[in-house]
Structure formats: structure tokens, C-alpha cells
Amino acid sequence: MKPRTRNGQDLLTPAAVVDRALMLADAEGLGAVTIRRLAHELDVTPMALYWHFASKEELLDAMADGLLTEMLAIAGPVETVPAGPWRQQLAALLDAQCTVLRAHPSVAPLVWTRNNLSDAALRLTERMLAVLRRAGFSPTDATRIARRAARMTTALVAVRAQFVDGDGDPDRVRDRLSALPIDEFPRVVEAAVALSGCDGPDEHYGLELVLAGIEAEAARLTPFSEPNPPPTPDRAPPQP
Amino acid sequence: MKPRTRNGQDLLTPAAVVDRALMLADAEGLGAVTIRRLAHELDVTPMALYWHFASKEELLDAMADGLLTEMLAIAGPVETVPAGPWRQQLAALLDAQCTVLRAHPSVAPLVWTRNNLSDAALRLTERMLAVLRRAGFSPTDATRIARRAARMTTALVAVRAQFVDGDGDPDRVRDRLSALPIDEFPRVVEAAVALSGCDGPDEHYGLELVLAGIEAEAARLTPFSEPNPPPTPDRAPPQP
DNA sequence: CGGTCCTCCCGTACGCTGTACAGGTATGAA
DNA sequence: TTCATACCTGTACAGCGTACGGGAGGACCG
């Protein structure tokens, strides 16, 4: 329970390092997460971190995994499926994902880009697949949809995060757009206001768009509509 | 026409630098694009590049712009709209985007993350907005949809690109997935094969999913269905 | 023809990065 | 008490982006 100490100083733990790294990333962007900087914040020599993580890459993996764990905590255990229609369950899962990602936007680019076989990642995929399988998708279809959905949500937040990073001035852009030759760029000039402003924080980052796409794919794949179509396994479980 | 020379040596041009940088990124990943490395490839001192680009950031911008220009070339000039249904026009635009991005996967993360006001970027948005406006969307709706669509496609390719980078072994993953406790991860074990393999190159990176989502949004926004609903401007053109 | 300016590039140097390698020191076991 | 192990420090190195100053060559003007 209580952290082991040495010389009266608390010992460094990987979890503490990851926590601090996440704080740092949230506060000053992923670029501020530096071995030296992180070590300084933890009152420790840079090389001390290399006892717990083999490389910075591994540390980044751990950070990504931290987010996955948060998502899992929000989504709740596997048994806690609200038993509603599958679209709703799926929406809840993706929403949890978006919530966590939006809380740590600058870490988002890390999350589903590394193929994580960690416990949290596996449990999340398990949940996702469970929902989709129960909706009647075959394992391969469920996999494809799950993968795409996960990637889309993270991708949306990630792109947005990097975007905000390199963003320029707020309405300087609008002025430049409005000043364009109207005969060459009529639509751009017309939409200068909308184009220059970033979309409000209430927007779901296109989550509903992703969901709509999935529903459309669902309709295409399983013509029988809603309540519990028979599962259609297209591939036997892995050979023994 | 012929490049200016000095001392018999061809002068360095920004375009040449960008070309070389793109080659380098395609061949060895974005991480290999280094001022020093690039300069070496161009038989020039690192600081020579800083005459043509104020910073590396600016060079990356130029690289992104290179891709946008390629897209524009594929999509053709604005007048070349095939006059089919708008979904088809939109699909063609997004498809061009995907084609170029897939040709330079490691550069993809750069493309729509920086808010580019370059000529190519503007012309592309103009085309996109034109299609959507003609489909009956209001300027703000068209902007929102265009932005999301662009981000999604790039995001999909970008995530995939970074993913391939850090990828591990091909079927080592499958074995690990199959070996999971089946009572805890039944769905994962069941879909081990599908999960371990990356989706084939023929897949459109979820492009059709994005399109389906947009169509759904379209149906929600403009209840009158297809042929040329009246344009519904929701905001006057910029004040004089 | 000589001088002057501007364009384009080189050399050096600084502070930053990740991290290899060797050396220490406190702790728990024997 | 002795020793192995776990954890951390110190030093050093190659590579990064880039600030600053200088210098060679063509262009232009007298």
C-alpha cells in the first residue's frame, strides 16, 4: 500500500512517471515530454527513468496505455452492458473513448497508432467486439468495424490536437479568406466565417458521423434489421 | 525554363528541396527528414536550406502543400465537375485525396493538421465546398462537412501510416491473441485472425464509411431528397 | 572598367535531444 | 558481517534545429 522508500525518499515507480508525463503533456503539449524535463520534475536524474523504461518509446507506450485504462474505467466492466440497442452501446463505448481523448488531446496521437496488446487494450477490444457480435456482425466484420471506429475517433481528436498546436491567428484568417478574389473562390469567400472559426467544443468531433457510417455499413451487411439477428460466424474459432 | 546556375552548379530551389524531402520521407519515413540529412542529399550545407525556408516547420508546410498540389492535379480544375450526383462528385474528391495520401503515407500526418492557406489548399476547399453547396447544404454545413471529411480521410491514412511504422511481427500477434484465456476474451480469441492481420491494401481506409456518414448527415439536414434542393444560405456574404 | 549591392551559400558554435556505459549506495537475504 | 541485488547518479557522445558572421559570385550603375 504505502510506497517503498529509500533514504526517506519515495522510490520512483513506473506509474508515477507515467502520471507525471501525462500531466506534462496535458499542460504543455507532447513536445514538452522530454526525458530530461520529466526527470527534473520527478527530482531525479534522467538516466533514472531508464531503469523503469527501456526507452522513451516504451514510456510513450505506457502513456498511451494509461489513456486506454482510463477509457476502460469509464466504460465500466464488460458485464455492465446497458442491454439497450447495439447502436446505443456502441455510441457509449465510442463516447467514452472520445471523452478520455479530449481530456488528453496531445496524447491522443499515441493511442491507437501503436498496436497495443496491453490488458486495457485487449479488454476494450473485447467489449467492442462483444457489442458488435451481439448485433449480428461476423467476427471479421466486427473486427473491421471496431478497428475503423477506434481509429476514426482517435484520429479525429488527434488531428484536431495537432491542429490547435500549429494554429495561427483567430480572425486574421477570416480576413485573408474574405479578401480572396470572389470570382475564383466564391464558395470560400462565402464561407469565410465558418472556415476561419474552429468548431465549437460541443461538437462531437464527428462522432455521430462515424456512427452514421457504421449504421449504414450495418444495414448493408445484415439486411435483417434490428432485434437480434442470428450470429453469422464466417470463420471457425482458431484451429487447435 | 532551364535552372539558373552558378559556378556551373545548379542553384538550389525550394521545389527541389521539397521534392527531395518527399522522396526521403517516402523511402525512410518522416523521421529521416532532417535538415542535415536533406542537405547532405542535396550536396549542400545544412544552413543553405535556411535561405529558402525560414525553419524546418516551414519546410514541412511546403511538403504538405506538395501533397495538396498533387491532389489538385488529380482532381482536375474546378470546371471539371462530372455533373453527376453530388455523392459521386464528393466520392471522387475524397478518393483523389486518399490516393495521394496513400502514395505518401508518412507525410499524411502533416497535411490537414496545419491550417494551410496556400493556393492548392484553397482551391481544394473551393472544389469541395462547391460540390456540397450545389448539393443544397448551407455554407456553414458545407464547411463542417468538408472539414470533417478532409480530416477523416487524412486521419485514417495518417494513423495507419504511423501504425505500420511501429508495427511488430505479423503472426506473432495472432498467436498471442489466440492464447488468451477464452473465458475472459472470447470475442478477441474468436477474431484473432482478423485482428492480427492488417486490412488489405484494397480497402478504402473506411472511405465508404465516411461517405455513408456524410450521406446520413445530409439526409438529416436537408429532408428534401435529391435533385437540386434550393440553396439555403444561412449567412450573408462577408460584410463590405 | 571599377565599385557596390544583393543573392546565395559556407563554417562555426550553442543548447537541446535520447541514451550507452560505468560507477555508486542503500536494502534485504545469508 | 558479507554479499547480491535493485535502484539511482555522472559523464560522455552523436545527432538535432538553428543563430550569427563571413565570403564568393553575378548584376547593375557610374
Please give the average per-residue pLDDT across B120-137, as a whole number.
92
Whether the pLDDT of residue B57 is over 80: the answer is yes
User: Distance in angstroms, CA of B63 to C1' of D19?
Assistant: 24
Phi, psi torsion values for B183, nearest 5 degrees: -80, -20
Whether the pLDDT of residue B100 is over 60: the answer is yes
Of B117, B184, B194, the CB nearest to A139: B194
| pLDDT the model gives residue B227 | 44
Mean pLDDT for chain B?
A: 82
| pLDDT the model gives residue B194 | 87
Share of chain A above pLDDT 90, in %: 42
Whether the pLDDT of residue B76 is over 60: the answer is yes
Distances in whole angstroms, Cα of residue B57 to Cα of each of B33, B54, B63: 12, 8, 10
Q: Which of A8-22, A36-50, A108-122, A204-218 has the highest mean pLDDT?
A: A36-50
Chain centroid offset of residue B142 CA: 19
What pLDDT digit, counting tens, does each position of B170-217 carry?
A: 677 888 899 999 999 999 999 998 888 765 555 555 777 888 888 887
Q: What is the 3-state secondary structure (H, E, C) of chain B?
A: CCCCEECCEECCCHHHHHHHHHHHHHHHCHHHCCHHHHHHHCCCCHHHHHHHCCCHHHHHHHHHHHHHHHHHHHHCCCCCCCCCCHHHHHHHHHHHHHHHHHHCHHHHHHCCCCCCCCHHHHHHHHHHHHHHHHCCCCHHHHHHHHHHHHHHHHHHHHHHHHHHHCCCCCCHHHHHHHCCCCCCCHHHHHCHHHHHCCCCCCCCCCHHHHHHHHHHHHHHHCCCCCCCCCCCCCCCCCCC
Share of chain A above pLDDT 70, in %: 78
Using a CB-CB cut-off of 8 Å, the residues of chain B touching A101 are: none
Whether the pLDDT of residue B150 is over 90: the answer is no
- Please answer whether residues B122 and A180 qualify as being in contact, where contact means their C-beta atoms are separated by less than 8 angstroms: yes
| pLDDT the model gives residue B8 | 67
B193 Cβ neighbours under 8 A, 6+ residues apart: A140, A235, A238, B174
- Please answer whether residues A128 and A93 qualify as being in contact, where contact means their C-beta atoms are separated by less than 8 angstroms: yes
User: Distance in angstroms, CA of A7 to C1' of D6?
Assistant: 14
The nucleotide lying nearest B5 (C-alpha to C1') is D26
- Please answer whether residues A149 and A218 qualify as being in contact, where contact means their C-beta atoms are separated by less than 8 angstroms: no
| pLDDT the model gives residue B228 | 45
Longest distance between any two alpha carbons in chain A, whole Å: 74
| pLDDT the model gives residue A100 | 93
Query: Which residues on adjacent β-strands are paired with residue B6?
Result: B9
B237 band by pLDDT with thresholds 50, 70 and 90: very low
Whether the pLDDT of residue A131 is over 70: the answer is yes
User: Distance in angstroms, CA of A62 to C1' of C22?
Assistant: 28
Per the structure, the residue whose CA is closest to nucleotide C20 at C1' is A47
Using a CB-CB cut-off of 8 Å, the residues of chain A touching B177 are: 117
B206 Cβ neighbours under 8 A, 6+ residues apart: A148, A151, A152, A213, B152, B156
| pLDDT the model gives residue A226 | 46
Cβ-defined contacts of B180-184 (< 8 Å, 24+): B180/A122, B184/A126
Helix axis angle for A207-221 and B207-221, nearest 10°, is 110
What pLDDT digit, counting tens, does each position of A163-197 carry?
A: 554 445 667 788 889 999 999 999 999 999 888 87
Q: Which of A21-30, A159-168, B211-220 has the highest mean pLDDT?
A: A21-30
- Contact state of B152 with A176 under an 8 Å Cβ cutoff: no
Query: Which residues on adjacent β-strands are paired with residue A6?
Result: A9
- Please answer whether residues A72 and A123 qualify as being in contact, where contact means their C-beta atoms are separated by less than 8 angstroms: yes
Whether the pLDDT of residue B129 is over 60: the answer is yes
Measured between CA atoms, the residue of chain A closest to residue B190 is A237
Using a CB-CB cut-off of 8 Å, the residues of chain A touching B139 are: 187, 190-191, 194
Please give the average per-residue pLDDT across B209-235, as a whole number.
63
| pLDDT the model gives residue B216 | 82
Q: A121, A220, A119, A109: which is closest to A155 by C-alpha?
A: A109
The nucleotide lying nearest A59 (C-alpha to C1') is C18
Looking at per-residue pLDDT, the higher value among A223 and A49 belongs to: A49
What chain B holds in terms of domains, given with CATH numbers, is 78-167+199-240 (1.10.357.10)
What pLDDT digit, counting tens, does each position of A83-113 carry?
A: 788 888 888 899 899 899 989 999 998 887 7
B131 band by pLDDT with thresholds 50, 70 and 90: very high
| pLDDT the model gives residue B34 | 98
Cell numbers placing A65? 496505455
Strand C bases with any atom < 7 A from protein Cβ: 8-12, 16-22, 26-28
Per the structure, the residue whose CA is closest to nucleotide D11 at C1' is A47
Looking at per-residue pLDDT, the higher value among B15 and B147 belongs to: B15
Listed range (A68-77, B56-65, B228-237) with the worst mean pLDDT: B228-237
A228 band by pLDDT with thresholds 50, 70 and 90: very low
Whether the pLDDT of residue B48 is over 90: the answer is yes
| pLDDT the model gives residue B238 | 40
